[in-house]
Structure 1
Amino acid sequence: MRAPAAPQTDPQGGQGAQAVARALSLLSLVGRGGGPGLTLAALAEAAGLPRPTARRLLLALCAARLVEQDRDSRRYHLGPEAYLLGSFAEERHGLLQHARASMLRLADQTGDTVLLTVPQGDHTLCLDRVEGSFPVRTHALMKGDRKPAGIGAGAMAILAALPPAEAQAALLRTRPLIAEFGPGLVNDLAADLALARDTGHALNPGRIVAGSWGLGVAILWPDGRPAGALSIAAIENRMGFLRQAELVAALNRECHLIGRSLAALEPQRRSA
């Protein structure tokens, strides 16, 4: 696990600013540890800190109730104050709150799996997954999965919604990570990105898992920046050309509705 890039320390802030940056890095890592939690050793290594330093900062986070340590496993988890702060932020930043009804409708209408993906720097995170009624499902992307930019239909839709230079730079930075998923995938994703820009939606024709296809459409803020993406995943024989058109139309309708909901938040974003 790699630690998030720490902000540059402010010469005026000195050691205090550095300690804050390190503590925030640890807090982010604890959050990404999910249900199992993370050990002190794992957190110290991921953050690039000596164990005594990591422990001291974690104790401070525990005192603030942002982090807690399980008494039995000794692993660290997010604390109740982190949950409370997250609930306060939900109305402003909670894309899932705005997208959930659309996901349920799409899963009910199509019978396939519907995914909500959000950008995280040069990666994307699968925020939620809703299963349809069709008994044969694809499990190439699960809730909580974090992938490099462009890996998956939702991730590609987000990439295609970025300015071309920005999207190309993201692909370049994550090239070594993408290459780990398979030979030739870097070139395939470059072609998929060009196609997504032309068509307005992303298609994943089994790039990561053979037979597991996906279609994705970006959810946009009013300024055109991607807030996330909805995608539909299904086995290959449910992704014929005519059905693709139907699924893309349904995705576009729902993404437009979510975009309208997000637009109501824009005055708050501008005033922040």
Structure 2
Amino acid sequence: MRDAVAPAHADTGGTQAVARALSLLSLVGRGGAQGLGLAQLAAASGLARPTARRLLLALGAARMVEQDRATRRYHLGAETYLLAGFAAERHGILHHAREGMVRLAQETGDTVLLTVPQDDHTLCLERIEGDFPVRTHALMRGDRKPAGLGAGALAILAALPAAEAEALLTRAAPQIGDLMPAVVADLEQARADGYALNPGHVIAGSWGLGVVISWPDGRPAGALSIAAIENRMTPARQVDLVAGLHREAAVIAARLSALGTERNIP
């Protein structure tokens, strides 16, 4: 009996170790440029520090993570960068969005942004600037904003089921602060219009228009938005900008849908 039980037990232990290591890898990735220390990773993962360190050493040997010698904090390693590059064509929304973003920036002269949902926040994955000399710097690549704050974030929120969007806003309320009434009003308008408008609520004079990019199942994969100074956002020009955003968002969504069909995603 012991011979029959041992392999199953070993497999369970191995599977658990892999799951724990992958959980740590994900946490390291979410640590951003500042990285995370051993104590933070152990606490966040619920692992004992010796266990977390042992798994991090294994990930380090595979070049999946690396430890900064000066700060002792952990960061994603070179192998994760290589793997991300291999996966970009199949899974990377930025890979599929960049061409359309460049086209929009050239056509409009304004700044085009790609935003994706990230827990209770949104993350700006890319910013491509047009040639108009006066630009808005309300959102830069790598910036994280609370859910609903900004045109792209608002477009994502408007595409969610109402109950889910309300729960997100409730969790983000402490960070949104006094802007909450404006965000709620803009959200209702975005649902009615099919696109989001941020009329300078985050930074005065900096306006934005955003449309959602959907996964094959209808969930928001991200949002395309255009940011410009207020006097370039006249009602007549907004019509043209929104049409361009919808056009490019549809192209990106079609590419994502083709990937979903190959993977049998409903």
What secondary structure sits across from 2:105 in the alignment?
A: helix
1:1-272 aligned within 5 A = 23-40=21-38, 43=41, 52=50, 54-179=52-177, 183=178, 185-270=179-264
Q: CA 1:17/1:147 → structure 2, altered by over 3 Å: closer, same or farther?
A: farther
Q: Give 1:55 shift.
A: 3.2
Provide, for residues 58-79 of structure 1, a one-character-per-residue CA deviation record: whole Å limited to 9, x for no partner: 2232123210123345332211
Per-residue displacement from partner, 1:205-246 (whole Å, max 9, x unpaired)? Answer: 111111111100011223322111100011112111111111
Deviates most, 86-95 or 152-161: 86-95
| 8 A Cα contact 2:216 2:265, kept in partner | no
CA–CA separation in structure 2 for the residues paired with 1:90 and 1:76: 24
- Whole-Å separation in 2 of the counterparts to 1:201 and 1:271: 26
Number of aligned pairs?
256
**SS of 2:264's equivalent?**
helix
Q: Distance in 1 between matches of 2:206 and 2:40?
A: 33
State the identity as a percent. 70
- The residue identity in structure 1 corresponding to 2:116 is V
Stretch of structure 1 that moved more, 154-163 or 68-77: 68-77
Tell me which amino acid in the other structure corresponds to 1:196. Answer: A
Whole-Å Cα distance in 2 between the matches of residues 236 and 25 of structure 1?
A: 44
Structure 2 Cα separation of the partners of residues 70 and 237 of structure 1: 47
Partner-residue secondary structure (3-state), 2:81: helix
> Closer, same or farther in 2 for the Cα pair 1:200/1:271, shift >3 Å?
closer
Q: Which letter maps to 1:207?
A: H
Cα distance between partner residues in 1 of 2:265 and 2:109: 41
Decide which structure has the larger Cα Rg and report it.
2
Give the TM-score normalised by the residue count of structure 2. Answer: 0.85
CA distance in structure 2 between the partners assigned to 1:174 and 1:35 by the alignment? 23
1:83-125, CA deviations, whole angstroms, 9 ceiling, x for partnerless residues? 2332333222211111101100111111111000111232211
Alpha carbon RMSD of aligned pairs, Å? 2.6
Shift of 1:251: 0.6
CA contact (8 A) 2:135 2:229 kept: yes
Specify the alignment match of 1:3 in structure 2. none
Summarize the Cα distance change of 1:79–1:166 in structure 2 as closer, same or farther, 3 Å threshold.
Answer: same
The farther-off stretch of 142-151 and 102-111 is 142-151
Q: Which structure is higher in helix share?
A: 2
Alpha-carbon distance change, 14 to 174 in structure 1, aligned in 2, over 3 angstroms: farther
Q: How far off its partner does 1:186 sit?
A: 1.6
Q: Distance in 2 between matches of 1:218 and 1:201?
A: 8
In the superposition, the TM-score normalised over structure 1's length comes to: 0.83
